[in-house]
Structure 1
Amino acid sequence: MNTLKITHIEKITPDVLQIRTSKPSDLEFKPGQATELFINQEGWKDEGRPFTFTSLPENDHLEFVIKTYPDHNGVTEKLLDLKAGDELLQTDVFGNIYFREEGTFIAGGAGLTPLIAILRNRNKYGDKNENNKLIFANKTKEDIILKDELEQMLGSNFINILSREKTEEHEHGQIDQTFLKKHIFNLQQKFYICGPDPMIESVVKDLKELGVDDENIIMEE
C-alpha cells in the first residue's frame, strides 16, 4: 500500500473535488484505469473506495477528480475535510476502460473521470487525424466537469446534454436513440461508456439496437 501526500485540493464544481498528490516512483497504470484509495486517518483506513487516475502516467503527481456526496456520511464527505498535507493510502490498479482506438466516449456525471485521462492522453499523443467525440450528460450546466479543458481539446466534438436545465448552448433531455442517431454516424467505431448503472444499461441497449457490435462497446467489467 502506497502513502500519497495531498499537495492540492479544491472544488471544481459545487460537488466535485480535484485532488493532487505525490506519486510513488514505481506506480504504473494506463490512462482510464483506477485504484482504491483510503483516507490515512483513524477510523477511515479500512474504508476503501475506487477512484480513477485523471493524471497521465508520465506526470510527476497523481490527480483524482471525485464527486462528493455530503449527505451519505461516508468517504467522499470526509474528503471535503481534507487539506494539503493530509494523506491517502493507495492500493492495486485496475480497470477495463482504457484506449483501444478512436471512438465516441459517452459519460454521465462523475462517470467522466476515466475518460479524462484517456482524452488528455489522446490530445497529447494521438494522431492529428484521430477523431474522438465526447457525449457528456449532466443535470445542470454547473455540473459539467472541466468544461473549458474539454472544449479546448475537443471543440465541436464535445457535446453536452442536460436533464434538468434548458440552455441556449446545450441539448436538453436524456441520451436516447434519437439523440444517438443525431450525433453518431459510424456504428463500427469503439464506444467507451461510463456513468450510473441505469444510464449505461440504457445507452448499451440503444447502441445494440442501432447495430453496434458487443466487441465495440467498452465499459467497466
Structure 2
Amino acid sequence: MNVVEAKQEYESVERLANALVVLSSTAEDGEIEVRISVGQSASLFLLLDLFRVEMPTNYWVLNTAQFVRQVLNTAQFVSQTLNTAQFVRQVLNTAQFVRQVLNTAQFVGQTLNTAQFVGQTCNTAQFVGNSVVVLQALPVLVGLGVVATTALLAKYYFSRKRSKTEVVTLQDPTVKYALPLVEKEELSHDTRRFRFGLPSDNHILGLPVGQHIHLSAKIEDNLVIRSYTPVTSDDHKGYMDLVIKVYFKNVHPKFPEGGKMSQYLENMKLGETIDVRGPSGRLIYLGGGKFSIKTLRKDPAHIVSVKKVAMIAGGTGITPMLQLIRYITKEEDDHTEMSLLFANQSEDDILLKQELEEVAESFPDQFKLWYTVDRPTEGWKYSTGFVSAEMIQEHLFPPSRDTLVLMCGPPPMINYACIPNLDKLHYDVKLRFAY
C-alpha cells in the first residue's frame, strides 16, 4: 500500500485534534528539520534523524524504522499525533499552496520519484519487520509520507522565496539610472561589447523579453538618445552587456560624422556612467508562443498566439532577435519554432555570428539560420543581395495563422525589402511586427 492509498483509507478516521507541525528549512547544509508539538499542556520537540541517501534532489530522507523506534513506539502516541485527515487538512488544505509549490512537472519528478521515495519511506513489509504491526504502522506510513513530502515541498518553496532576493534595476520606466562602464571588449574592427554594472551583484536589469532600453548622453551640448537591446538577460546578475557597432567618422560616405552615441560609448572610460531608462517597447514575449503586442505605443495590448516565428534582421537589428531566440531555446517547455534571415553588408559585418550558429547547431529542429550579404567572399554559401521574396519563400516559414513575422533593421530594409515582399507572398499584416 502506498502513501496515497493509506491516506485515503485513514482519512475518515478521527482520532485526536490539536496536532501542529512546524517546518523549518536550513539552506546552509541542505538538511530539513521537522519539529512536532503535541498536546495542550506539554511541548515535545522531536528532531527527525535524517540519513544521507543519494536522491535526485540531494535531500535527506527519513529512515522509517529508526524514526518509529525513537518516536512512534506506541499506538497511543500514534493516535495522539498523526491524525491523518486533520494533518493533511492543516498543511495541504488550499489549492493556492499546491499551485505555489507543485507548479512544475520537473519539481514533481525531482521530489516525488515514486519508486525511490516509496522504497525509502513506505516499504510496508520492511516497516512491519522493524517496528510495529501492520494495523499500527499504516497511520505512521501516512504520517511519514506527508511529513517527508511536506518537508521537501517546504524546502523547495522557501528556496524559491530566497531566490526572489533579486532586485530589479529598472523599477520605473520614466527614471534614468546612471550605470558605470565596467568592461569593454573588442569583438571586431568596429564592434564592441560594453558591460555596464548594476547597483549590486544581486541586481538584475528587469527587462522583459521583447523590450529594449534607452541610453541618453549629452554630446556636444545636445541630448542624444538611442535605443538598444542588451544581449544579456535577467539570468545575469550584477551587469548588462550591449553589443554595438561603432560608426566612426569618415568611414561611411552617407554618414561622414559617424554615429554620435556609438562613438561616445567607444570613448567612455571605465568607471564613467551613462543614463539608462526602460523598459520600453510595444512587444513583450509571454512564453509558449504568446506575444503581447501594441500597434501604437498608447494602444491597448492584444495577445497573438503562434507556433512559429519568422525573423528578418539587418545589421544591429539582430539583438532583439537573439534575445528572443535565447529565451525560447532555454525554456524546455517552449516548442515555438523560429527561422531567421539575417542581412549584412559583408560576412565580417555579421554581429553575434558565433552565438547564432551555436544555437542553430544545438537546436536544429527549433531554429533555422540563413544569411544574405551585399559583398560576398569567395566560397560564400548563403544568399547575396537585398532581402527578396525568393529568400523569404525559401528560408522562412510560409504565411499561416500560426506564424508571426518579426522585423528589425535599417528603415530602407524594412520599407523597401521586407514589407513589399511580405505583401507579395500574402503574409497577414496583422501577424507582422517591426521593432
One fold, TM greater than 0.5?
Answer: yes
1:190 partner amino acid? L
| CA positional deviation for 1:4 | 0.8
Residue in structure 2 matched with residue 79 of structure 1 by the alignment? 265
What SS does the corresponding residue of 2:268 show, helix, strand or coil? Answer: coil
Q: Which has the higher helix share?
A: 2
Q: Would the aligned equivalents of 1:56 and 1:120 in 2 still touch at CA under 8 Å?
A: no
- So what's the TM-score if we normalise by structure 1? 0.88
**Aligned position for 1:162:** 373
CA distance in 2, matches of 1:8, 1:206: 41
1:193 aligns with 2:407: yes
**Structure 1: unaligned runs, 5 residues or longer:** none
Aligned counterparts, 1:1-221, within 5 A = 1-24=176-199, 25=203, 27-39=205-217, 46-60=223-237, 61-71=239-249, 72=257, 74-99=260-285, 100=291, 101=306, 102-125=308-331, 127=333, 129-155=335-361, 157-166=368-377, 167-188=379-400, 189-201=403-415, 202-220=417-435
Give the % identical residues: 24
What TM-score, normalized by structure 2, do the two folds share?
0.47
In the aligned structure 1, how far is the partner of 2:246 from the partner of 2:221? 16
Q: How many residues align?
A: 219
TM-aligned CA deviation for residue 214 of structure 1: 1.1
Question: Which moved further from structure 2: 139-148 or 53-62?
Answer: 53-62
Deviations 1:169-194 (A, max 9, x none): 32211211111111134212111100
Kindly indicate whether the alpha-carbon contact (under 8 Å) linking 1:13 and 1:144 is maintained by their aligned counterparts in 2.
no
Q: Give the aligned residue type for 1:56.
A: S
Task: For residue 118 of structure 1, give the secondary structure of its aligned residue in structure 2.
Answer: helix
Q: Residue 125 and residue 26 in structure 1: after superposition, are their counterparts in 2 closer, same or farther (change >3 A)?
A: closer
Give unpaired runs (5+ residues) of structure 2. 1-175, 250-256, 286-290, 292-305
- Any conservation in 1 of the 2:204–2:234 contact (CA below 8 Å)? no
Give the partner amino acid of 2:247.
Y
Higher relative contact order (Cα pairs below 8 Å, separated by 6+ residues): 1
Inter-CA distance 126–159: structure 2 relative to 1 (3 Å threshold):
farther
On the 8 A contact 1:5/1:87 being kept in 2, the answer is yes
